[in-house]
Structure 1
Amino acid sequence: MAGVSWAEGASNETGASGSSEFSLEADFQYPLFTVIYSIVFVLGLVENVLALYLLSCRVQHTSHSYVYMINLALVDTLFVCVLPFKIHYHLNRNNWVFGDVACRVTGTLYYINIYLSIAFFTCLCVDRYIAVLHPFTYIQITALHCVTVVALLWLLALSITVPLVLGGPLHNLGLSNTTACFENFAAGSWARRMAPYNVLALLFGFVVPFGIILVSYPLVARRISRLKRGVAKRKALVTIYLILAICTLCFLPYHLTHLLHFLMRVQVIQRKPFASLIYKMRRVTLALVSLNCCLNPLLYYFTSSSKRWHFNFKLRFRSKVVYTICDQQLGESSYVYKLHQRRGNTAQRDGTK
């Protein structure tokens, strides 16, 4: 889960290397964050609001997985709603002008999205694993169990982010006359206060959930692949591959680079060229992780392909084709009559009268 430790590096971050100090800069981050966050805001807002509507109002016969998917769409929607603040922040070269409360809320929702997303992915993984490999156990699981799990995850995420909200995220940078939000934490703070949060967040926020996904989904995919060919089998395999792709493309690079970033901040990594490379890689992965909000709606579609996802925007035209009941005695197939042929036959009969 998110904690105070998972703070972004500053645009002009200072790290210690022995007794000397050096500056970490990445000017490409300003257009990068602005463009990526703008795309994610437009696409993610439309896709996730639509997904919330379809999942909550249009879908019938909800299953256990829908409880997790609705919450996943909700956390994605909350995240994209605060992106305009971050777009303005990076567009103005990491200068926060919206005040302390907005900074706390924005940062909290940002990191809650990262860790609750992979938590709900893990819940979907475990749900599919039990349903495929242990169907009799799956029958005993009720929707109340899923709601309880979701409530515990939300409570855990909010409780862990309390130090993030109370820790004072705003920092004035005197040299550049700007205000950083969740950046420029002191090196001593990283060593004393943030190290436990980083270790716990990395272990329980990514390593354990991602390990469960990597172990469970191949077992489920192998079991499904043994079934006969069909639409359900193809959709199930696509869902598995999509979740693995989102975790690999969005979450894995972010956590790997943040591990290196943490080692740099606690001075385990002290070489300046390597530290500069880590800082730049971290800026890229911070933008890349937000793309999961645009990819998650694909998961909703493939998982619920048999449900009513389409809008009933149908014009009231008469059907062009009429189907009759099969004559089982003669073993004939159903006859198909085109209406224009019937109209032609009717006209001919009218002419003979």
Structure 2
Amino acid sequence: MAGVSCPGGVSNETVANASSESSLDADFQYSLFTVIYSIVFVLGLVENVVALYCLSCRAEHTAHSYVYMINLALVDTLFVCVLPFKIHYHLNRNNWIFGDVACRVTGTLYYINIYLSIAFFTCICVDRYIAVLHPFTYIRIRAAHYVAVVAALWVVALSVTVPLILGGPLHNSGERNATACFENFPSSCWTYRMAPYNILALVFGFVIPFSIILISYPLIAKRISRIKRSVRKRKALSTIYIILAICTLCFLPYHLTHLLHFLMRIRVIQNKSFTSLIYKMRRVTLALVSVNCCLNPLLYYFTSSSKRWSFNLRLRFRSERVYTIYDQNHRETSYVYKLYQRHGNKKRRDGIN
């Protein structure tokens, strides 16, 4: 996360800092941000609105873990809705004209999208881990538990972003008399006010969740790989690979370059050629991290039922299943374990898969 924003205003230090920024300028960033954000806005809006529609219509008849999917689609939708402001900002060579409130909202949703997406990925990981390795424990987990986790994550995310909202994200960059939004803060701001915030965001917002994903998903994949040929096996493994791919492609480069950028701002890294490279890499990863909004709908598809999504009004019902190994004596494997069966020996409805 960019950190706690410092008060606006044009001080001598701000102007000096802006002068140093001019040597780190990367002209390609304006076209890069415009193109990437435009693509993400069009594709992300369509894909996530469709995902919200499909997930919401079938929410009562799917696994409780779909609560995470719905909220992931929601946070992506909120983010893409403010992208036109950022597109205009970069088209005007990083000059913000929409006022202080719009800057706060846009910047806040940008960071909420990054860290809530990672949090929901981690929750999906933990959910799959319990379902595969501890299926009987998974049976006892209710929808209220998922709702409580999601509510807690939203509260934490909104609480953490309060400093972003209350701070002063707008200030004169000192170059071309442009108004910067969440950019080019003075060095003292990075050193004293933003350092603890950035460290906590890096550790608890990315390092710990990403470590959980890296440790848990190989264990899940190993267990599922014992299953014989199956469509559900392929879908489960596809889900694992998609989440790992999104984290590796979008979130890992962003946080690595942000760490280097932070070290540069607090004067730990002072080599001019390296700082110039870091600045350009950060421009690329800032644009790249937004692509996750277009990739997440792939996750919704591969974790849905085996039938393709359709827009007919007839609801499809399905029972909840988890992957497990149940016959240890003969080392036979089964990829399906039905969590529960209602009302004894009732006949299965059409549409159950």
The alignment partner of 2:172 has SS state of strand
Q: How does 1:1-353 map to 2 (within 5 A)?
A: 3-4=3-4, 23-58=23-58, 61-306=61-306, 309-312=309-312
CA distance in structure 2 between the partners assigned to 1:99 and 1:5 by the alignment: 16
Instruction: For residue 312 of structure 1, report the CA deviation from its aligned partner.
Output: 2.8
- The answer to whether the 8 Å contact 1:13/1:184 transfers is no
Instruction: For residue 172 of structure 1, report the CA deviation from its aligned partner.
Output: 1.4
Q: Given residue 310 of structure 1, which amino acid in structure 2 is its aligned partner? A: S
- The root-mean-square deviation of aligned C-alpha atoms, in Å, is 2.2
CA distance in structure 2 between the partners assigned to 1:307 and 1:187 by the alignment: 55
CA distance in structure 2 between the partners assigned to 1:76 and 1:309 by the alignment: 20
CA distance in structure 2 between the partners assigned to 1:56 and 1:204 by the alignment: 30
Structure 2 regions of 5+ residues with no counterpart? 7-13, 315-353
CA distance in structure 1 between the partners assigned to 2:232 and 2:311 by the alignment: 22
- The answer to whether the 8 Å contact 2:5/2:167 transfers is no
CA distance in structure 1 between the partners assigned to 2:125 and 2:175 by the alignment: 49
Instruction: For residue 175 of structure 1, report the CA deviation from its aligned partner.
Output: 3.8
- The answer to whether the 8 Å contact 1:5/1:198 transfers is no
- The answer to whether the 8 Å contact 1:2/1:115 transfers is no
Structure 1 regions of 5+ residues with no counterpart? 7-11, 315-353
Instruction: For residue 3 of structure 1, report the CA deviation from its aligned partner.
Output: 4.0
The alignment partner of 1:285 has SS state of helix
Q: Given residue 156 of structure 1, which amino acid in structure 2 is its aligned partner? A: V
- Report the equivalent of 2:351: none
Q: Given residue 56 of structure 1, which amino acid in structure 2 is its aligned partner? A: S
* TM-score normalised according to structure 1 size: 0.83
Q: Kindly tell me: are residues 161 and 151 of structure 1, through their superposed partners in 2, closer, same or farther at Cα, counting changes over 3 Å?
A: same
- The answer to whether the 8 Å contact 2:125/2:216 transfers is yes
Based on CA coordinates, which of the two structures has the bigger radius of gyration?
1
- The answer to whether the 8 Å contact 1:104/1:165 transfers is yes
Q: Given residue 279 of structure 2, which amino acid in structure 1 is its aligned partner? A: Y
Q: Kindly tell me: are residues 221 and 31 of structure 1, through their superposed partners in 2, closer, same or farther at Cα, counting changes over 3 Å?
A: same
Instruction: For residue 60 of structure 1, report the CA deviation from its aligned partner.
Output: 5.1
Instruction: For residue 313 of structure 1, report the CA deviation from its aligned partner.
Output: 9.2
Q: Kindly tell me: are residues 155 and 2 of structure 1, through their superposed partners in 2, closer, same or farther at Cα, counting changes over 3 Å?
A: farther
Instruction: For residue 138 of structure 1, report the CA deviation from its aligned partner.
Output: 0.7
- The answer to whether the 8 Å contact 1:243/1:299 transfers is yes
Q: Kindly tell me: are residues 5 and 203 of structure 1, through their superposed partners in 2, closer, same or farther at Cα, counting changes over 3 Å?
A: farther
CA distance in structure 2 between the partners assigned to 1:46 and 1:21 by the alignment: 37
CA distance in structure 1 between the partners assigned to 2:99 and 2:93 by the alignment: 16
Instruction: For residue 50 of structure 1, report the CA deviation from its aligned partner.
Output: 0.4
Q: Kindly tell me: are residues 2 and 183 of structure 1, through their superposed partners in 2, closer, same or farther at Cα, counting changes over 3 Å?
A: closer
- The answer to whether the 8 Å contact 1:75/1:113 transfers is yes
Instruction: For residue 23 of structure 1, report the CA deviation from its aligned partner.
Output: 2.4
The alignment partner of 1:25 has SS state of coil
Percent identity (aligned): 82
- The answer to whether the 8 Å contact 1:64/1:142 transfers is yes
- Report the equivalent of 2:321: none
4+ residue stretches of structure 1 with deviation over 4 A?
A: 12-16
- The answer to whether the 8 Å contact 1:64/1:127 transfers is no
* TM-score normalised according to structure 2 size: 0.83
Q: Given residue 41 of structure 1, which amino acid in structure 2 is its aligned partner? A: F
Q: Kindly tell me: are residues 5 and 207 of structure 1, through their superposed partners in 2, closer, same or farther at Cα, counting changes over 3 Å?
A: farther
